[in-house]
Amino acid sequence: MKVLKFGGTSVGSADRIRAVAGLIDNGEPQIVVLSAMSGTTNTLVEISNCLYRNEKQAALHIIQNLEVNYYIVITELFETEAYIQKGKTFIQTIFTYLRSFINKDFYPLQEKAVLAQGEIMSTTLMHYYLEECGVNNTLLSALEYMRIDKDCEPDYFYIRQNLKRELAQPDTHPLIITQGFICRNAYGEIDNLKRGGSDYSAALVGAAIKAEEIQIWTDIDGFHNNDPRIVEGTKAIRHLSFDEAAELAYFGAKILHPSSVQPAKKENIPVRLKNTLCPDDEGTLITEDSPAKNVKAVAAKSGITAIKIKSTNMLLAYGFLRKVFEVFEAWKTPIDMIATSEVAVSLTIDCTEHLEEILKDLEKYGTIEVDRNMAIVCIVGDFSAGKSGLGAQVLKALEEVPLRMISYGGSAHNISVLVKEEDKKKAMTDLSHKLEDLQH
């Protein structure tokens, strides 16, 4: 059995829903994971923000506009009056539920329930459309099997056992439609896997059933050797390893959620990235190993903050680094890059929610310098220890770009450099042009 995930743009209109239905109606057993229709989650976040601010009329106005948009989709999607009415009745139920929050106190728990409605709507409309077309399918609620634990990490045992139970039901068809992103938490409340979590959902489902293949369908033909939004003339990469894909996803390649690689790698399940607009294109295949190549791709991550802790006593201070890391652990803030010398340690973070508290805690260990509005440029390829000269060529390509930090040697697949946000485009373009010979 395969697991196929389709993102918001892939189901973003009546035409796109019909196109996806045509792709999955192929007689093969498969679990299809859907995101909310494009724009819906952002709108639901906007509604939630209005409710937090007690702006009831503004929230009502946004709810009404979104409801009208869905009624338009329904009239365009379905052919028969029976299914048009069935779709409208269902949508009316969803929006009555959303309006029920207008006169209540609004908390983060309610926001999670509001955000879940996007995936519930997209999967139900797909289920109805397939029914209207005479295609047998089962709508399986992710809330019946997808769960995170008290640390907000996937509960692998729970997911595997409950998904196995649901799939064993006698009325389950070989074609199964389910939601990405949404889940329950350890207390049984509606929760989610954070933004972009539909990829993660598909990977968790694939790992749980030991799928033949996990396919992530988007509107681009796989990973590219650079960011096509920034650099012209990029090309799709046909084969990556799990580690290479994880590096690219984490450091800015938006096509794949960073967390989604690990479950597939754990069970050694191939992941294939496909384009819904060009379904015959082979896309990018991700497996345990991939053909060796010097430089495969460049990606970038913006919104980075660099912190330098300088202490002349650092060399003799046993446990200094441990104390620094404990500050970030206490504030649950991950570190992206790190560089050390005898008297200083520099590191980067992309989450600044607790930055002021972190800086206050770090001041007891030395002088603090902070650089905001930075970007990490990540060069992914084969940088194994046996190779010589490749790192020098990468840095040579960046000779006209001021570098704030360099990370080399922490991974056999990655060289990362920290630059100012204003220098990011030049860094990526220079790498693309000057390392072109190494990418063939």
Query: DSSP for 402-431?
Result: --SEEEESS-TTEEEEEEEGGGHHHHHHHH
List the strands of the sheet with 284-287, edge to edge.
Answer: 138-140, 175-179, 30-34, 2-6, 213-218, 271-275, 284-287, 239-241
Q: What is the pLDDT of residue 428?
A: 95
- 276 carries a ligand binding annotation: no
Q: Is 5 annotated as a binding residue?
A: yes
Evaluate whether residue 384 is within a structural domain.
yes
- Residues 226/439, Cβ–Cβ less than 8 Å: no
Query: Based on the domain organization, do 204 and 353 belong to the same domain?
Result: no
Please indicate if the annotation marks 6 as binding a ligand.
Answer: yes
Q: What percent of the chain has pLDDT over 70?
A: 96
Give the pLDDT band of residue 342 (cuts 50, 70, 90): confident
Q: How many structural domains are present in the chain?
A: 2
User: Do 45 and 128 share a domain, yes or no?
Assistant: yes
Name the domain boundary from 177, 202, 218. Answer: 218
| Per-residue pLDDT reduced to its tens digit, 61-100 | 999 999 999 999 999 999 999 999 999 999 999 999 999 9
Instruction: Tell me the residue type at 164.
Output: K
For residue 412, what are its two tokens?
């056999």
8 A C-beta contact, residue 256 and residue 245: yes
Burial class (CB in 10 A: 0-12, 13-18, 19+), 100: exposed
What gap in Å lies between CA 301 and CA 350, rounded to an integer?
9
Q: How far apart are CA 177 and CA 188, in angstroms?
A: 22
**Integer angstrom CA distances of residue 150 from 107, 191, 351:** 19, 12, 21
CATH of the domain at 107: 3.40.1160.10
The whole-angstrom separation of Cα 359 and Cα 221 is: 42
Q: Is residue 240 part of a domain?
A: no
Q: How far apart are CA 125 and CA 227, in angstroms?
A: 33
Residues 5, 149, single domain; the answer is yes
Question: Is the residue at 337 inside a domain?
Answer: yes
The verdict on whether residue 410 carries a ligand-binding annotation is no
Q: Is pLDDT above 90 for 111?
A: yes
191 among annotated binding-site residues: no
pLDDT-based confidence at residue 137 (cuts at 50, 70, 90): very high
Residue 228, domain member (yes or no): no
Contact 252, 224 (CB under 8 A): no
178 is in an annotated binding site: no
Asked which of 166, 196, 218 is the last residue of a domain, the reply is 218
| Residue 7 assigned ligand-binding role | yes
| Chain centre distance of CA 341 | 34
Domain annotation covers residue 184:
yes
**Do 127 and 92 meet the contact criterion of CB atoms below 8 Å apart?**
no
Q: Give the range of the structural domain holding residue 425, as residue numbers without chain letter.
A: 293-435
End-to-end CA distance of the chain: 35
| 8 is an annotated ligand-binding site residue | yes
